[in-house]
Amino acid sequence: MELGEFSNDYLLLNPEKATLFDFVRILCFPSYSLKQRDFIDIQEPANLSGLLRRWLLFVSLVVQKLCIKIKTPITLIGDVIETWLNLVSSNNGVGYLLLNFLSGKVILASDPSSAKFASVNAYIDTRVKLDEQIKNTDVKYRPALSVMASKLSYENEAYIQNVVQNVWGEMEYLGFFNCWDDHLEKSATQAMMFKDTSTTPNTIVIAFRGTSPFDTDDWRADVDFSWFDLNGLGKVHGGFMKALGLQKGTGWPKEIPMGPTDKHYAYYDIRQKLRDLLKENDTSKFIVTGHSLGGALAILFAGILMFHEENDLLKRLDGVYTFGQPRVGDKKFGEYMVTNMFKYNVGYFRFVYCNDVVPRMPYDGKTLLFKHFGRCLYFNSWYEGEILAEEPNKNYFSPLWTLPMAFNAIWELIRSFLLPLTMGEEYEESWLCRFLRSIAILFPGLADHSLQDYDNVTRLGTLQLLQHTDKDD
């Protein structure tokens, strides 16, 4: 099956096949000259009209090409940094590490696949336990559990299983998913699943992993401005669709072969696991969550369930909670989602903290057509929340916001020293988190995307806002 058979309008970027001359061509040559080029596959060449649109596609191709080129060194740098962080942690700090080195008693870092080996994200926000002050009947409980699940999804399977079973209390570990991307031709999408048995009915939680700091394939998914227009669904971000399980050539068939030797795709594997689990317990509900790229996959997962008319599952979907989620589709996709969330009584809670750059990407305008939908739960740097249709400074790169964002970043660095004094030691920030806040004075959207503040939002924010959802409109 060709692309045109499942999508009546699409634009597919192939950075692997792009040359330096192609980068010049996309900016300088008329749109009809691009239709048959190896680095771009497009159904409607008119979609390339306009210099700004061509410029953004040029940027997408260049960044993706760069990600391909630097993949090996970035992976190596990430391995070194994470090994060092775990080595320091195993020896109780740099000082003890030095003493142990001098005495020949250095405790080596654990194996990267072990339950003791943590990712760089775990060293930015070091909190592992759930907030004991938030009970499962509290309006804060679901978002607090969701953000912790989103954070935990960045870890390896053994670490995740240990935390769910031995740290979080009344939880049942259900599995870890390491899934295939047909377009990258590798396993590139991860998710975790567990059951909260403290609630009545029990709640199954699915958390998609977001953009890993040292995985350039994740970076590529974020900046891949390809799109596919699925009949009735609207235009959807190609990078996110590929990560979730879009099939080469066939798109989103409702069923695919799922034998032991077949490839495992995130959407299909997780959906089948849900089907089996919900058959075993006819009262259980499930929620979907994720941070960054994981948030995009979470809401798109719900969207494809709707596209496939998975009514039995959708009736059990109790909410989608995303943190720092980028835009996923166009206005038509948003309208489709709002209509169906109302139909199935599904709450959608899109958290945005302060100047986080990621929810303001990709560009919202006539150029790339990407739009947020539903209500935004927006929180400022005082963790004061309000319900908005769109976060302030929606496209981020505005000269009017430059100085206010820089001053706010300075305040956030100062606040990192004040918060533990006023709220307790669990709000003590790591040196790595404060290092990011220092860098953020030059690039304010960087530190605001970390899970430290999203975790704080669910603990300290004015979350009575969660009593309102799109279905109230």
For residue 45, what are its two tokens? 């060449």
Let me know if 23 is exposed, middle or buried by CB neighbors in 10 A (0-12, 13-18, 19+).
Answer: middle
Contacts of 380 (CB under 8 A, 6+ apart): 354
How many CA atoms are closer than 13 Å to the CA of 451, on its beta-carbon side?
34
Q: Tally the residues of the chain.
A: 473
Rg value, the chain, Cα = 22
Dihedral of alpha carbons 199, 200, 204, 210, sign: negative
Backbone angles phi, psi at 178, to 5 degrees: -120, 100
For residue 204, what are its two tokens? 């199954």
Which residues belong to the active site?
A: 292, 356, 449
For residue 373, what are its two tokens? 């939908």
DSSP β-ladder status, 40-42 and 7-13: antiparallel
Three-class SS state of 159: helix
Task: Give buried/exposed letters for 355-392 (b at 16+ CB in 10 A, else e).
Answer: bbbbbbbbbbeebbbbbbbbbbbbbeeebebeeeebbe
For residue 350, what are its two tokens? 């899109």
Long-range contacts of 374-378 (CB under 8 A, 24+ apart): 374/334, 374/337, 374/338, 374/341, 374/348, 374/350, 374/470, 375/348, 375/350, 375/468, 375/469, 375/470, 376/350, 376/352, 377/349, 377/350, 377/351, 377/352, 377/465, 377/466, 378/352
Give the integer Cα–Cα distance in Å for 326 and 368.
13
Give the integer Cα–Cα distance in Å for 158 and 116.
8
Q: Nearest to residue 373, comparing CAs of 469, 229, 245, 267? A: 469
Q: CA 163, 166, 168: angle at the middle one, nearest 5?
A: 65
Give the integer Cα–Cα distance in Å for 238 and 224.
7
Is the separation of the CB atoms in 237 and 244 below 8 Å?
Answer: no
